[in-house]
Chain A
Amino acid sequence: MSFLPNVAERPAPAAVRTEHLRRRIGEHAGTYTLYAALLLIVLFPLSWVILGSFKNPSEIFAYPTTFFPRDFTLSNYADVIRRTALPTYLINTAIVTAFTLVFTLVIGTIAAYGFSRWNFPFKNTILVTLLILQLIPSTVNIIPYYLMMNWFGLLNTRTALVLIYTATHVPFTIWIMKGYFDTLPRSLDEAAVIDGCSMFRVFWSIILPLSLPGLSAAGFLVFIGAWSEFLVPLVIANSRDVAVMSVGLYSFFGMDATAYHYAFAASVMSTAPVVIAYLFAQRYLISGLASGTDK
């Protein structure tokens, strides 16, 4: 269609536009069939859970199984909020995620600025080491984490989780932010320093505001990482009062088949924050990650 580039932009009569759209869709029937298959694979399991959360418990356990709720009810949500500890788990998750986000972005961007603006011995060695350490997963470190947190007296605290999450998310934050800082000319910093700004001031009030897209992309990745983490909190902080969402769902009512009606509503409530964040972040996330890979 490249020989008709501006059709959509020209004010065309509605009928012509619909006709044009229909023709274009018709031309790509094969593509759209495959799109439909893709959407079905992603959305069918998700809508099963979402629709299930609005069914009466009697309908959930009835046979034959229904897909759409016969009558729509919010009672599962009310039950989960009143009768289970899910609100506590979600608050714990939010606290741990928020602190992780702030610490990771502050420590990560400050370091990225240092790596971007100064040349010093072993700089590239340190950068590559950070990249390698990023690839050591928490799975391998789980026994030492337990022993170390036990030694620090931090078992069953949210502090332990924030410490570990921050350390595991800082390396990629440095890599993303350094990429952004490198695109900003050094003359910007130099001009500000000549005007009497300290380097911290330059970083905070000039460089950082210009790097907001990178900061949002890194921030989103930290957010979904910290929100979803499962193995580390299961081992380090599994008592009921400090349990995060994943541990709560697994240990306290995830495994019980009779709690389907709770599990559906709890799953929706636990996933909503990341999906909402994704809806806001996805635009520059996809382009940002894509541009990161073809750098």
Chain B
Amino acid sequence: MAQRSTFAATLSRHQYLFFIMPAVVLVLGLTAYPALYGVLVSFTNLNFGYATSKFVGFDNYVRLATWPALPQVLFNTAVFVTSVVALQLSIGLLAALLLNRAVFGRGLVRSIAILPWVIPGIIIALMFQQFFSGSRLGIMNTVFSVFGLESRTWFSNPTESMLVLILAVVWRGVPLSIILQLGGLQTINKELYEAASIDGASRWQMLRFITIPSLRPILLINVIMATSGTLNHVDIPLALTGGGPGRSTEVLALSIYKQGFEVLDASYASTIATVILLLNLLLTIVYLRVLRARDELPS
């Protein structure tokens, strides 16, 4: 009897295990384990076309470093990520400032401005594909002709193709910036503005010396989230341009898919994935630092 009650006491002391275990096991099993498994695969010569594989050390990493397409893919990735992040942040900040003004109708405008965020990536890809179609059916060319501009071929031109890709991803990503920046704007103490206006500050000065500095932590979180989101983004590049024409819009994340499921070279794809994983870890470390600095994390 005494033994049973000790057992019962132990059980109730560790009752939390029943609550947290299903989640912990599932998440470790299907996110942490695959990530480590992927790193392991990058040291083999596993190919979806062959039955067996063996350990090959750093061979895949040497192959990746000497891959003739690597400079172009890295260049594309850099252009894609920096343009998307810069545009998302600046347009998002502008829109958030606009939507933070106490004017009639802003609730409706805000709801519509955030709408692109919920639209599936595949739909956005289809939409922009038709929008920027190089045939005369593309409405963008029609709009261009109204303004007396020349028609563009869009997807058969490397630069224009990248431009449309960036536009599509920005169109979808700006709402996240708006949500974050609006949240940040609402935490700024209104008295700061009142004090500044008494001191005769202009609106530009208030923006420059009150709003932007107060938003800095949120802007930083936004940069990290947008960078990670864009670096790992495959949906729209895959469905909109498929990396083409040639390799002109192939970004690193898309190379994982292409090498793994078109070339079937699973280990090579895992090598690229491992590189992206390391970049993600780097971003995560910065992210945690920022959150710690803001006391948002239990240390």
Contacts and interface: CB of A to CB of B under 8 A. Distances in A.
Q: For chain A, what secondary structure do more than half of its interface residues adopt (helix, strand, loop), or is it mixed?
A: helix
Nearest to A277: B118
A108 B26 CA distance: 11
A216 to B, nearest CB: 15
Given A28-B103, A143-B41, A263 B118 contact: no
Contacts of B20: 110-111, 114-115, 126
Interface stretch (A68-76, A79-87, A168-176): A168-176
B202 interface: no
A147 B139 contact: no
Interface in B33-47: 33-35, 37-38, 41
Chain B interface, DSSP helix/strand/loop, else mixed = helix
A166 B298 contact: no
B16 A231 contact: no
Given A24-B104, A127-B298, A290-B182, A136 B35 contact: yes
Interface in B155-211: 171, 179-180, 182-184, 186-187
Interface string B16-40: 1111101110111111111101100
Given A135-B280, A167-B30, A143 B137 contact: no
A18 interface: no
Interface string A250-282: 100010010010011001001100110111001
Given A249-B126, A293-B183, A111 B22 contact: yes
Contacts, number: 270
A41 B170 CA distance: 11
B41 A144 contact: yes
A249 B123 CA distance: 8
Contacts of A24: 103-104
Interface residues of B, number: 95
A227 B119 CA distance: 10
A274 B119 contact: yes
Contacts of A45: 127-128, 131, 171
A16 interface: no
A65 B142 contact: yes
B273 to A, nearest CB: 5
Contacts of B239: 230, 250, 254
B22 A227 contact: no
B234 A274 contact: no
Most buried by A among B19, B26, B105, B288: B19
The 4 closest A-B pairs by CB, nearest first: A114-B19, A167-B30, A290-B183, A111-B23
9 contacts: A43-B112, A115-B19, A136-B32, A137-B228, A144-B33, A164-B30, A228-B120, A231-B257, A235-B257
Interface of A: 1, 21, 24-25, 28, 31-32, 34-35, 38-39, 41-43, 45-46, 48-49, 52, 60-61, 63-65, 67, 107-108, 110-111, 113-115, 117-118, 120, 124, 126-128, 130-137, 139-148, 163-164, 166-168, 170-171, 174, 199, 224, 227-228, 230-231, 234-235, 245-246, 249-250, 254, 257, 260, 263-264, 267, 270-271, 274-275, 277-279, 282, 286, 289-295
Given A48-B130, A111-B19, A293-B221, 14 more contacts: A38-B98, A43-B112, A63-B136, A64-B142, A126-B24, A135-B280, A140-B38, A140-B277, A227-B120, A235-B261, A250-B122, A290-B183, A293-B184, A294-B187
